[in-house]
C-alpha cells in the first residue's frame, strides 16, 4: 500500500474537512467552501472505486483529499501531498492538531523582531535590493523570520496579520498556521484614480519598489495561480499595471499568461502590461542585471493595453445623451449611400407584403445589387460591398436555385441558413 493510500484510509476526506473546521460542508449537498455559494453547489461522495471525492458544480473544481488541500491552502500538489501525509501521521509523521487553523496562532511581531541586521544584509545581497529598502521592509513589518525561514505577513480584511508566508530551504513556500486561504499582500493604500501595481511575486514587487521609490498601491498575489484574488480590491477609476513574469512554456501554456488574463478579468478597470525584456525571467531578475528606475518608467509608458477601463451603464448613457442644442452643433459624418438615395449605411428596415408576392426574391435581388455594385430597377448601387444574407426559412437547395436565377454568384455575397448540408 502506498503512503498516500494509507493516508486516505486514516484521514478520509470527511475527516480531513472536519480537521480543517469545514465539517458543515462535508455533505452530499452543501454550500461550497471555496466561493460565496447560495445554491449548495458543493458535494462530497464516493466514486465507483469507493474513493472519496469532492466537486463544486459551480466550477471551483473537483478531486481527492490532496486536491482539496491544494485549493483550500493555495498549495502546490507537492506541498499538499506532504501536508496530507503529516496530517494523517503517515511515513514517520506524527498527527498534530497544530496543523489545523483552529489551534494555531502566529506572533508576527516576534517574527519581525527576529529579522536582524544580518538578515537585512543577506536579503539585500541575495535579491539585489538596497539595504535601505530592506531596512524599510522590517520597519514596516513587511518581513520577518519564522522557524529560521524568511517570511512575509498575510493580513485579513481589517489589516490584522493572520498568517505567515514563509520559504523553506528547498524553495517550497508554506503558510502558518495551516488552514488560511491565500490572500494577496497589499502594501500601502489602494486609492481611486491612483495607479496600482500588481505582481505575482513579492521579489518582483520589492524590486520595483526599491528602484522606483513607490511605497503604496502594491498588490502581490503570491503565485501565478492567484490572479483572480484581485477581485473587489481595486477601486474604480484607477489604472492597473500588471507585471507578468516570463515563465517557461509548459504543456503549451505559460503560467504568467494565465495570471495576466485572470487579473484583467477581475480587476474591473483598465489593465496595462509593462513588459519585462524576454531575456529576463522576471522583474527582479531584470533589476539585478542593472535595470534602473528610468528603464521601469519607460516600460510603463510603453505598456500594452490588456483591458480598457470599464464604464458603468449610467456613465455610458450620460456620454451618449445630448441636448437638442448640442445636437444642432454636433459634427456628424455623412452616412454612406449604398443603394439609390434611400438605402444608407446603418439603415434597418422590413419588407412587408402578402405571402407569395416576391419578398424573398426582392431581398435576394437587393443583396445581389449591393454585392456587385450593379443596378436594381431604378436603384443604382454606389459601390460593391460585402453582404451576408441570413435565411431562416428557405431550404438551401431552393435558395441555390434562386441565386442561380438571379446570377447572384460572387465572393462578396455570403449566405447562412437555418439548415446546413454536407
Residue/partner pairs of 130-139 with CB below 8 Å, 24 or more apart: 130/210, 133/206, 133/209, 133/210, 136/215, 137/206, 138/112
Quote the cell numbers at residue 186: 497589499
The residue among 395 and 369 whose pLDDT is bigger is 369
Residues in the chain, how many?
422
> Can you name the residues that pair with 186 across neighbouring β-strands?
219
Residue 320: pLDDT band (50, 70, 90) is confident
**Mean pLDDT (whole number) for 226-230:** 91
Quote the cell numbers at residue 15: 475527516
Most confident of 23-27, 64-68, 164-168, 418-422: 64-68
Domain boundaries, the chain: 3-103, 108-307, 337-417
Any idea which of 35-39, 191-195, 409-413 has the lowest mean pLDDT?
A: 35-39
CA distances for 381 relative to 350, 362, 368, 412, angstroms: 19, 15, 10, 14
Residue 236: pLDDT band (50, 70, 90) is confident
Query: What CATH homologous superfamily does 3-103 map to?
Result: Zinc finger, CHC2-typedomain (3.90.580.10)
- pLDDT of residue 248 exceeding 50: yes
Q: What is the pLDDT of residue 46?
A: 93
Same fold, 3-103 and 108-307: no
Helix/strand/coil for 168: coil
Q: What is the pLDDT of residue 406?
A: 85
List helix spans (H) across 153-221: 202-212
- pLDDT of residue 132 exceeding 50: yes
Q: What is the pLDDT of residue 422?
A: 45
Query: What is the rounded average pLDDT for all residues in the chain?
Result: 88
CB atoms within 10 A of CB 112: 20
**Mean pLDDT (whole number) for 337-357:** 93
Specify the CATH class of 108-307 in words. Answer: alpha beta
Burial class (CB within 10 angstroms; exposed 0-12, middle 13-18, buried 19+) of 63? middle
CA 68, distance to chain mean position in Å, is 21
Q: What is the pLDDT of residue 397?
A: 87
Q: pTM for this one?
A: 0.56
Residue 103: pLDDT band (50, 70, 90) is very low
Quote the cell numbers at residue 421: 448540408
What is the distance between the alpha carbons of residues 68 and 60, in angstroms, rounded to a whole number? 11
CA 52, distance to chain mean position in Å, is 30
Q: What is the pLDDT of residue 419?
A: 67
CA distances for 296 relative to 125, 198, 207, 356, angstroms: 21, 14, 10, 70
- pLDDT of residue 310 exceeding 70: no
Segment 386-398, tens digit of pLDDT: 999 998 888 888 8
**Mean pLDDT (whole number) for 337-356:** 93
Q: What is the pLDDT of residue 99?
A: 43
CA distances for 70 relative to 95, 200, 231, 421, angstroms: 19, 18, 20, 48
Burial class (CB within 10 angstroms; exposed 0-12, middle 13-18, buried 19+) of 180? buried
Residue 247 contacts residue 256 (beta carbons within 8 Å): yes
Q: What is the pLDDT of residue 126?
A: 96
What is the distance between the alpha carbons of residues 388 and 375, in angstroms, rounded to a whole number? 18
What is the distance between the alpha carbons of residues 206 and 284, in angstroms, rounded to a whole number? 8
Please name which of 299, 307, 316 lies closest in space to residue 267, comparing C-alpha atoms: 307
- pLDDT of residue 135 exceeding 90: yes
Residue with cell 455623412: 334
Residue with cell 484583467: 264
Provide φ and ψ at 254, rounded to 5°: -115, 130
Residue 391 contacts residue 415 (beta carbons within 8 Å): yes
Q: What is the pLDDT of residue 420?
A: 56
CA distances for 259 relative to 60, 201, 299, angstroms: 17, 11, 19
Helix or strand run (H / E) with residue 150: strand 149-155
Residue 70: pLDDT band (50, 70, 90) is confident
CA 182, distance to chain mean position in Å, is 15
Any idea which of 99-108, 129-138, 315-324 has the lowest mean pLDDT?
A: 99-108
Residue 257 contacts residue 292 (beta carbons within 8 Å): no
Amino acid at each position: 500500500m502506498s503512503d498516500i493510500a494509507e493516508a486516505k484510509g486514516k484521514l478520509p476526506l470527511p475527516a480531513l474537512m472536519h480537521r480543517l473546521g469545514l465539517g458543515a460542508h462535508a455533505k452530499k449537498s452543501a454550500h461550497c467552501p471555496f466561493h460565496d455559494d447560495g445554491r449548495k453547489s458543493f458535494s462530497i461522495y464516493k466514486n465507483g472505486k469507493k474513493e472519496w471525492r469532492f466537486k463544486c458544480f459551480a466550477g471551483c473544481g473537483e478531486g481527492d483529499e490532496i486536491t482539496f488541500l491544494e485549493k483550500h491552502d493555495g498549495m502546490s500538489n507537492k506541498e499538499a501531498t506532504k501536508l496530507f501525509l503529516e496530517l494523517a501521521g503517515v511515513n514517520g509523521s506524527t498527527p498534530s492538531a497544530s496543523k489545523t487553523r483552529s489551534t494555531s496562532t502566529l506572533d508576527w511581531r516576534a517574527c519581525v523582531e527576529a529579522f536582524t541586521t544580518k538578515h537585512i544584509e543577506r536579503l539585500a545581497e541575495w535579491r539585489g535590493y538596497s539595504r535601505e529598502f530592506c531596512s524599510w521592509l522590517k520597519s514596516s513589518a513587511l518581513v520577518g523570520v519564522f522557524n529560521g525561514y524568511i517570511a512575509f505577513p498575510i493580513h485579513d480584511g481589517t489589516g490584522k496579520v493572520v498568517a505567515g508566508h514563509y520559504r523553506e530551504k528547498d524553495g517550497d513556500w508554506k503558510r502558518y498556521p495551516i488552514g488560511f486561504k491565500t490572500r494577496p499582500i497589499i502594501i500601502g493604500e489602494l486609492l481611486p484614480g491612483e495607479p496600482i501595481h500588481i505582481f505575482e511575486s513579492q521579489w518582483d514587487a520589492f524590486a520595483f519598489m526599491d528602484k522606483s521609490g513607490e511605497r503604496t498601491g502594491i498588490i502581490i498575489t503570491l503565485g501565478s495561480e492567484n490572479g483572480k484574488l484581485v477581485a473587489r480590491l481595486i477601486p474604480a477609476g484607477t489604472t492597473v499595471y500588471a507585471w507578468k513574469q516570463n515563465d517557461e512554456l509548459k504543456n503549451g501554456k505559460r503560467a504568467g499568461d494565465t495570471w495576466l488574463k485572470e487579473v484583467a478579468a477581475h480587476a474591473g478597470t483598465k489593465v496595462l502590461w509593462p513588459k519585462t525584456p524576454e531575456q529576463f525571467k522576471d522583474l527582479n531578475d531584470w533589476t539585478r542585471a542593472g535595470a534602473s528606475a528610468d528603464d521601469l518608467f519607460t516600460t510603463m509608458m510603453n505598456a500594452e493595453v490588456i483591458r480598457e477601463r470599464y464604464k458603468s451603464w449610467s456613465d455610458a448613457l450620460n456620454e451618449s445623451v445630448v441636448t437638442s442644442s448640442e445636437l444642432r452643433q454636433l459634427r456628424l459624418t455623412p452616412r454612406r449611400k449604398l443603394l439609390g438615395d434611400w438605402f444608407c449605411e446603418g439603415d434597418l428596415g422590413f419588407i412587408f407584403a402578402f405571402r407569395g408576392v416576391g419578398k424573398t426574391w426582392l431581398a435576394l435581388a437587393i443583396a445581389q445589387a449591393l454585392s456587385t455594385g450593379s443596378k436594381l430597377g431604378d436603384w443604382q448601387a454606389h459601390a460593391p460591398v460585402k453582404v451576408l444574407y441570413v435565411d431562416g426559412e428557405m431550404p438551401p437547395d431552393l435558395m441555390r436555385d434562386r441565386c442561380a436565377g438571379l446570377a447572384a454568384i460572387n465572393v462578396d455575397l455570403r449566405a447562412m441558413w437555418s439548415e446546413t448540408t454536407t
